[in-house]
Structure 1
Amino acid sequence: MSLEDFFSGPGAPDFLHIFSTCLQSIGTPGFNAQFLELIEQVIKADQCMVFSYKTPRPQCYLTYNERHAKGVQNMVQTYLRDGFKSDPSRVAIEQVRQSGKTLITTMAEAGGDEPFAAAGIGDRLTIIACRDEDVIAMNFFRFKENGRFSISENRLRLDFWNAIAQIVLLHFSERSGAKVRSPLNSLSAREKEICEGMLRGLTADAIAWELDVAPSTVLTYRKRAYEKLGINSKSALFMLCNTGS
C-alpha cells in the first residue's frame, strides 16, 4: 500500500486514528508503542532505531528489533560503542544540522552498506531532522527477503516524514524528562522492570525477590529485553541508557 492510500484510500480512517493516538501520547511513556504501530502500518520495517546527535557520541532514544535474527541482535551496542564513527549518514546529519531541512536517504543512496549487508539487512531508510539544537536520525531496516523501501520525492511523502520527525523531536525534547526519553519504553512492563532493576545495580536474585517471581523468570525476561533492544550484555544496557555502570 502506498503512502497516498493511507490518506485517501479505504484505510484512511484507521490511519488517522493511529496518527491521532500517536500525537496524544507525546510526552508519555506510551509514546514508543504508538509510534512503532504507526511506523509498522506505513513502511513495514523489521527493525527501528532512533538516535540523537546533540552530542559527539550519539544517544539512543528508541530501539526495537521485532525479529531476533542472528547477526542483528547487537547492532545497537555495536553502533553506540564505535560503529557511529563510520556511519555513512554522518555527512547527511551535519548537512541537516546546518540547513534545518529534513533529509530522507536509503542505504544505497547514503553509500556503504556494511555492516548491514553482512547482517542480512537488505535496505535502510533514514530520516534525519532537527529541532533547536537536537538532530535525530530515524533508521528503519528491512531484511533482504522483504525487499527494499520504495522512495518517491513527491510532496506528500516529504511532508509526512517531516511531520513524523517533528513528532519524535517534540516527544524526546529535554522538557519531556529522562523517563520519557528512555529506550526501555519499547519493552513490555515486566521486561522494563527487569532492566530498571539491573540499572539500579540489583542482581537477578534481588530483582526476583523484589518482583516476587522466580530467578529463572527474571533471566527469561532479561533475554527477551536484550533481543528487542539489540544488545547482549549488562554493560551494553548501561551504555544504551546512557547511564554509568
Structure 2
Amino acid sequence: MTAPRPPSDWPALMASVAACIEALGDPAFETHLLALLRDTARIEQCMIFAYDDEDGVDCLLAANERQPRIAGRLARLYTDGLFRQDPNYRGLRQASDDAPRVGLAPMRAEEMPPAYRGHLFAFPDLVDKVALTVREAEVAYTLNLYRGRDTGAFSTADLAGLDAMAPLLASLTRRHYATARPVSQQPSAEEAAVLAPLSERERQLCLFLLRGHTLKTAARELDVALSTAETYRKRAYAKLGVPSKARLVALCRRNA
C-alpha cells in the first residue's frame, strides 16, 4: 500500500480532486472519492450514512478494500439498529441548532461500546475510525473512515490532514448526495424496469428518493402526510426486496 501524501502536498492531489468534482452526480464519483481518501489517509474502509430527523438512516456507500464482500454486511448491521450505539450518532441527535455544520471526530475502537465494537470492528479487524459529520436542514451525513490493524491507527499528522480536507470532503459529499435532481426528470430505462412492479404512487416516491430527496421532502412534493410516504416506501421496498435507499440505488445501477 502506498504511503499517504502529506497535507502540504496539495498540488499532487489536484488531479484526484478534479476527478471527484467532474464525477459529481455520477456513479463514478464514489470510485474517485475512495481513491482520494486512500491516497491521502490510507483508509481500509469507508462508509457514508445519511440520517433524517425521523430517526431513519440509509447507507449511501459501503466499501472495504481488503474484504470487499464484508462492507455490505456491516452496513446492514449498522442501519438495522447498531447505529443507535454509535457515539457519533448520539452526539448528532443531541446537537443544538448552533452546532458546527461540519465536524471531524476521531473514535478509537477501545472507546466504543462492547457490542458495537464486537459487531462492527472485531470481525473485519478494524482498529480506528474517524467520522466527518455534515449537517443540513433536514438530513445529516457522516463520512466514516476506518483503518485496519496492518495500517494502524490514524496518527496526529493523518488527523491534521483530514481536518484540512474536511471542508472539501463535506462539500463533495453534500453536492453529490444531497442535491436533488429535477423532479420533472423522467426515469431512465433501468429505473423504469426496476420500478415496474410498483404502484404509481410507490414509483413516484422511489423516483424522488433516487433524485436525492429525503422522505420528508418527497412527501411534501407528493402532497401527502409523512406517514403516508413512509407507507409507500415500506411497500415499495418490500416489493423490490431492498432494505434501504442505498440498496434501491444499487439495484438501479446494477441494471444499468
The TM-score range, normalised by the shorter chain, is: 0.5 to 0.7
Structure 1 position 151, deviation (Å): 3.8
In the other structure, the counterpart of 2:27 is: 29
Are the counterparts in 1 of residues 41 and 158 from structure 2 also a CA contact under 8 Å?
A: no
Distance of 1:135 and 1:65 partners within structure 2: 22
TM-score where L is the length of structure 2: 0.62
CA distance in 1 between partners of 2:171 and 2:242 (Å): 27
The answer to whether the Cα contact below 8 Å between 1:130 and 1:169 also exists between their aligned partners in 2 is no
1:76/1:62 Cα in 2 relative to 1: closer, same or farther (>3 Å)? same
1:146 to 151, 163, 168: 151
2:116 counterpart of 1:118: no
Question: Is this contact kept in 2: 1:96–1:130, CA < 8 A?
Answer: no
Q: 2:135 aligns with which of 127, 130, 133?
A: 130
Cα deviation, residue 109, structure 1? 8.8
What is residue 56 of structure 1 aligned with on the other side?
55
Q: How many percent identity over aligned positions?
A: 18
RMSD, aligned α-carbons: 3.4
Aligned pair count? 190
> Distance in 1 between the 2:147 and 2:195 partners?
31
Matches within 5 A, 1:26-175: 26-54=24-52, 55-68=54-67, 74-94=73-93, 98=97, 99-108=99-108, 111-112=111-112, 114-115=117-118, 116-119=120-123, 120-151=125-156, 157-175=162-180
Unmatched 5+ residue regions in structure 1?
Answer: 179-192, 202-233
Q: What residue ranges of structure 2 are gaps of 5+ in the alignment?
A: 184-189, 198-237, 249-256
Paired with 1:27 and 1:110, the residues of 2 have a C-alpha distance of: 37
User: Residues 16, 130 of structure 1: CA spacing in aligned structure 2 closer, same or farther, 3 A cutoff?
Assistant: same
Code of the residue aligned with 1:175 in structure 2: it is: A
Q: How many Å apart are 1:46 and its aligned residue?
A: 0.9
Following TM superposition, by how much is the alpha carbon of 1:140 offset from its aligned partner in structure 2, in angstroms? 1.2
Q: Which has the higher contact order (CA 8 A, sep 6+)?
A: 1
Distance in 2, matches of 1:150 and 1:22, equals 25
TM-score (norm 1): 0.64
Q: Contact 2:128/2:148 (CA < 8 Å) preserved in 1?
A: yes
